[in-house]
Amino acid sequence: MTSWNKGDRVAHASYGSGTVLDVNEQHMVIHFDDAGRRTFATPLVVLEATGESPRPGLTGKLPPMPRGSGSTLDGSTTTVGFRNANGQTVLRRTNVSGNVPGQHVYVLMCGHCSHEYGANGFDIHLRKCPSCMGGQPGLDY
24: exposed, middle or buried (C-beta count within 10 Å: 0-12, 13-18, 19+)?
Answer: exposed
Alpha-carbon span 117 to 98, nearest angstrom: 13
CA distance 58 to 19: 7
In the predicted model, is pLDDT for residue 35 greater than 80?
A: yes
Q: What is the pLDDT of residues 38-95, one digit of tens each?
A: 889 998 999 999 887 766 555 444 444 444 444 444 458 899 999 999 999 999 999 9
pTM of the model: 0.50
Quote the percentage of the chain above a pLDDT of 70. 83
Structural domains of the chain ordered from first start = 1-64 (2.30.30), 76-141 (no CATH)
Q: Which pLDDT value is given to residue 112?
A: 92
Mean pLDDT value across the chain? 84
**What is the torsional sign of CA 113, 111, 28, 45?**
positive
